[in-house]
Structure 1
Amino acid sequence: MTSPYILLENVNLHYSSVAFKERSLKTLLGNILTGNKKKNAVQDVHALKNINLEVRAGERVGLLGHNGAGKSTFLKMAADLYPISSGRRIIKGNVRSLFDLSLGFEPDATGRENIFYRGLLLGLSPRLLREIEEEVVAFADLGEFIDYPIKTYSAGMQVRLAFAISTAVGGDIMLIDEVIGAGDARFMVKAKKRILDLVEQAKILVLASHDFSALQTICQRGVVFHRGEIVFDGEITEAVKTYKRVNGIGA
């Protein structure tokens, strides 16, 4: 069996300007009448620029960068959620991602039904979902609300259920974006323990965070992003120093 790995060569990713264009007919007509059509034109966003990176089994990699530097886009690209514009992307292994927790819920369906909806979206089989259903229900700890429609849930309850589903099954490659707030203090203790268990089991971890202490505890390697480019790739302590220097942050 081939060991899991991530290989990226000269990868570029653009966000199409269509995603940012004004969808209001009133505003569009106003721009035409006032002659602002060309002035307000929005260009495609070059979100990731010439990314070259190789991650092999056993590595724990921390991603550093200010908001908008490219960390989250990189993770979504590695999870194959975003198509690349050019270059080569090879991901070998079973990928599990921990971000976009609100994705895949059907508001009118019950929490129990949404275990299957979201699980299928995550690529889990119906058979496996049936096997882990009760474990997910127990971990989310929503009581009778598990059989109520999602639209009756508070934001915290939705996050707890989504977290329970998303972390029920580990993977060879774990992609995690920031620390997840998942409800009250008691639940957070369970959530943090589960994340650490998944990290321990995963053969590759890529973690994006602003928590330098957590990064230096968990990761050995650090990759610093700045304006969509990798400006440093090396030992995690040096990566933190580079991040601070690039962003003008004092020691």
Structure 2
Amino acid sequence: MGDNHVIRVDDAGIRFRLHRRSRSNFKDLFAGRKRRARSDEFWALRNVSFNVKAGEAIGVVGRNGQGKSTLLKLVAEVILSDEGSVSVDKGVAPLIEITGGFVGDLTVRENVYLTAGLHGMTKHEINERFDEIIDFAEIELFLDTPYKHLSSGMKVRIAFAVISRLEEPILLVDEVLAVGDKAFREKCYRRIEDLLESGRTLFFVSHNERDLRRFCTRGLYLDKGELVLDGPIDDVLAHYNSDYGIKSRKP
């Protein structure tokens, strides 16, 4: 992937069916990729194009249901586009859904090894970082507790502690830190700043304007599944606030 781009999204679209029982008919199999949407289809994203260089910190802005989380899942390659193309040249550490990769009946200890292993860490690497992960999560007393018995805040702690220790150069964060307490959230934010200083690339979804300004220099404004604006984060927030009559916070 040339020009130092680690992510390239070209005219990408993701289509969902409104009714689970709806099925494609025979004609759909031969329909063009640019065909008009059916009445029972919903495009979560469409006509989205942008490139990302290594080390950029990007805030994804928009109301609920406008495609922000879908975009992160597209970059994480959790879902594939129905139109266009997405190329990701580097590995991704996704903090998108706190339950992803964790098994309720397994203990915290077992889940650390399972989840880190699923993300490509060897057992030796996990052994080396295990104490560091647990110390960061502040969850030493619950190592042998089944994951399903943890509070939402504890689940966020252990998830962030594991994901932020991965060596992947692209970090995706999707509002999950809003569940944690203020002190731990600040601890996570300092960790994100450390990762940015080391050259990581960040996709950050949040409704908190102050947080977006803190981490991000560039913004992507999504509305109704389409990319309205790609530019400096201050310009993107100003555009979004103007569209919805929101009083902007001073940087």
TM-score using structure 1 length: 0.82
Query: 1:5-30 CA deviation, whole Å, 9 max, x = no partner?
Result: 11111111112345x459xxxxxxxx
Deviation at 1:247, TM superposition (A): 2.7
Any idea what SS the aligned residue of 1:174 has?
strand
Question: Counterpart in 2 of 1:177?
Answer: 174
**Equivalent in 103, 112, 117 of residue 120 of structure 1:** 117
Any idea what SS the aligned residue of 2:143 has?
helix
Deviation at 1:235, TM superposition (A): 1.9
**Contact residue 170 and residue 198 of structure 1 kept, 8 A:** no
**Contact residue 96 and residue 176 of structure 2 kept, 8 A:** no
**Contact residue 182 and residue 191 of structure 1 kept, 8 A:** no
**Contact residue 112 and residue 162 of structure 2 kept, 8 A:** yes
**Equivalent in 142, 150, 157 of residue 153 of structure 1:** 150
Aligned pairs for 1:232-251 within 5 A:
232-250=229-247
Structure 2 letter corresponding to 1:14: R
**Structure with bigger gyration radius:** 1
Q: 1:133 to 1:250 in 2, by over 3 A?
A: closer
Question: Counterpart in 2 of 1:11?
Answer: 12
Aligned pairs for 1:184-195 within 5 A:
184-195=181-192
Deviates more, 1:95-104 or 1:184-193: 184-193
Counterparts of 2:217 and 2:42, CA distance in 1: 31
Query: 1:61-95 CA deviation, whole Å, 9 max, x = no partner?
Result: 22111111111110110110111102111111121
Deviation at 1:248, TM superposition (A): 3.8
Deviation at 1:250, TM superposition (A): 4.8
Query: 1:100-149 CA deviation, whole Å, 9 max, x = no partner?
Result: 01212222211101101221333333332222222112222223320122
Question: Counterpart in 2 of 1:31?
Answer: none
Structure 2 letter corresponding to 1:85: D
**Contact residue 97 and residue 176 of structure 2 kept, 8 A:** no
Q: 1:98 to 1:125 in 2, by over 3 A?
A: same
Any idea what SS the aligned residue of 2:235 has?
helix
Q: Does structure 1 residue 228 correspond to structure 2 residue 225?
A: yes
Deviation at 1:227, TM superposition (A): 0.2
Any idea what SS the aligned residue of 2:52 has?
strand
Structure 2 letter corresponding to 1:7: R
Unaligned runs of 5+ in 1: 23-40
Unaligned runs of 5+ in 2: 23-37
Deviates more, 1:8-17 or 1:227-236: 8-17
Question: Counterpart in 2 of 1:25?
Answer: none
- Root mean square deviation, CA, Å: 2.5
Question: Counterpart in 1 of 2:203?
Answer: 206
Any idea what SS the aligned residue of 2:177 has?
coil
**Contact residue 156 and residue 176 of structure 2 kept, 8 A:** no
Structure 2 letter corresponding to 1:233: D
Q: 1:140 to 1:239 in 2, by over 3 A?
A: same
Q: 1:144 to 1:222 in 2, by over 3 A?
A: closer
**Contact residue 4 and residue 93 of structure 1 kept, 8 A:** no
* Number of positions where the alignment pairs a residue of Structure 1 with one of Structure 2: 232
Any idea what SS the aligned residue of 1:180 has?
helix
Counterparts of 1:144 and 1:47, CA distance in 2: 42
Deviation at 1:224, TM superposition (A): 0.8
Deviates more, 1:134-143 or 1:221-230: 134-143
Aligned pairs for 1:25-40 within 5 A:
none
Deviation at 1:221, TM superposition (A): 1.6
Deviation at 1:203, TM superposition (A): 3.5
Counterparts of 2:245 and 2:41, CA distance in 1: 28
Deviation at 1:150, TM superposition (A): 1.8
**Contact residue 98 and residue 176 of structure 2 kept, 8 A:** no
Structure 2 letter corresponding to 1:158: K
**Equivalent in 102, 108, 117 of residue 111 of structure 1:** 108
Deviation at 1:187, TM superposition (A): 2.9
Question: Counterpart in 1 of 2:33?
Answer: none
Counterparts of 1:181 and 1:249, CA distance in 2: 21
